[in-house]
Amino acid sequence: MKPRILILFIAALAVGAMLLVGGCAKRQPGVTTIRFASWGNDVEEQSLRALIAEFEKRNPHIRVEIEITPWARMLDKLMISSAGGRPPDVTRISSEWFPPIAAKGLLEPLDDYIERDNYDLDDFYPESIEGWGVWNGRVLEIPTDIDIYAMYYNKDMFDKYKLPYPDETWDWDKYLEVAKKLTLDTNGDGVIDQWGTTLDMWWQDYVYANGGTIIGPDPATGDVQCTLDQPAAYNGLQFMADLINKYHVSPTAEEAANQGTSKLFTSGKIGMTISGSWAAELIYKNEITTFKYDVAPIPKGPKERVSIICGAAYAVLKRSQHKEEAWELVKWMTGKEYQRAAAMRSQIIPSRRSVAESGAYLGLDADPKNRQAFLYMIQFGKPVPPVSCAPEMTQIIQSELDLVRLGRETAEEGCKKVKPKVDQLLRHRD
């Protein structure tokens, strides 16, 4: 998952909010100050401050100090401050970080607050709550948005070659068939300069779609072990590599070296790409200017249709001295009003079904038009494996799979090299 824009609030709200900031600058009697940690660039920080100011306006007994940290440093900073420093009261958490943070016991369980305030969790997509909200049966954070993967495609290219647009009936065979038709030497110089598809960073989809798993119980001991050495897993990954090295429908690292695969798609040289919902706002909105594009569900694999699902959430730190006030902020930042504004401004998929399926998201006058495809894919979402060492495990696997993508080893060879390394990591996890 990549950092996402936190969005500016509606104009009138933002103006009034920013005027309020100056009046809240000094501590006031009867006002509790809480600290809120998040990530973001200058625009994101401006948006966040407007939102927080509106919260303060509605809750005059609470003042919020905002701490902005680069996304790449957020996890380390949170871990260090929680271990021996002064952690924030509320923090924004990427779903990728949820397993190690939850396993360390750093977050305040929210179940009692939810029950007391009759906070409606039923409005949230269960895939988000179960994926990065619940740990060992307790609700530790409330999801605020969802990232899901789908297949973007160049409509003009499909029209040029009179090919039907992708839809939910597509499987891997159809995907490969069309990718071959779109892979061409368009200028006749003997070198391919247009490709049918390209691969995103996520490899997990290919494992799950082929019926494989990443981790699972050891039949003999019941301990968690790496299962990528099983045929269903590595054969799925081999299909991923074959798109590049066998079928040549996706550019090699050398062919993509000058621009990168994302730029090749946005410049009109690739027909299809599987990427995250966030890409529409953060990349394609500004970079696709010469053709029309849309989005469709990911093609179904031999066993199932799958997308990695991720997102962000808000949580109260266990060491907070102001848990009630912190909970009030979490409720505001995960409420319908906030999510509606986020959807309307930046195409962020709301974690609340009532907002995601409303005109606030589906009725946006922006590309892609078929954003219903993202909502359709949510039901097929699989989160990061729920183990505390998930980030380290992913890094180990990704490093080996880079060699598989390059064609330097088969997926079976790579997965069998990975297994003992991941097994050792799993045995020594916290």
Distance of CA 97 to the CA centre of its chain: 11
Residue 211 phi/psi, 5-degree rounding, is 90, 10
Q: Could you tell me the pTM of the whole model?
A: 0.89
- On the question of pLDDT at 371 being above 50, the answer is yes
Give the pairing type, strands 270-276 and 381-382.
Answer: unpaired
- The answer to which of 48-57, 63-72, 307-316, 417-426 has the lowest mean pLDDT is 48-57
How confident is the model at residue 8, as a pLDDT?
35
Q: CA nearest 332: which of 133, 109, 95, 144? A: 144
- On the question of pLDDT at 77 being above 80, the answer is yes
For the residues 32-59, what does the mean pLDDT come to? 88
Structure-token match 């299809």, residue found: 272
- On the question of pLDDT at 262 being above 70, the answer is yes
Interatomic CA distance for residues 342 and 37, integer angstroms: 19
Secondary element (H or E) of residue 304: none
For the residues 107-132, what does the mean pLDDT come to? 97
- DSSP per residue over 97-127, as a string? GHHHHHHTT-B---HHHHHHTT--GGGB-HH
Whether domain 149-307+387-427 has CATH 3.90.1200.10: no
Tell me the per-residue pLDDT of 135-183, one tens digit each, with 9 for 90 and over.
999 999 999 999 999 999 999 999 999 999 999 999 999 999 999 999 9
Which residues partner with 64 through β-bridges?
34
- On the question of pLDDT at 17 being above 60, the answer is no
Local structure of 184: helix, strand or coil: strand
Determine the straight-line distance between the first and last CA of the chain, rounded to whole angstroms: 24
Q: CA nearest 412: which of 245, 237, 243? A: 237
Tell me the per-residue pLDDT of 177-233, one tens digit each, with 9 for 90 and over.
999 999 999 999 999 999 999 987 689 999 999 999 999 999 999 999 999 999 999
Burial 217-231 (b: 16+ CB within 10 A, else e): eeeeeeebbbbbbbe
Q: CA nearest 244: which of 316, 196, 296? A: 196
Q: How many CB atoms lie within 10 A of CB 1?
A: 19
For the residues 252-274, what does the mean pLDDT come to? 94
Give the pair of three-digit tokens for residue 360: 């606030």
- Do the domains 149-307+387-427 and 11-147+309-382 match in fold? yes
- The answer to which of 9-13, 72-76, 105-109 has the lowest mean pLDDT is 9-13
Sketch the domain layout of the chain as residue ranges.
11-147+309-382, 149-307+387-427
Mean per-residue pLDDT of the chain: 91
- On the question of pLDDT at 348 being above 90, the answer is no
Q: Give the CATH H-level superfamily of domain 11-147+309-382.
A: Periplasmic binding protein-like II (3.40.190.10)
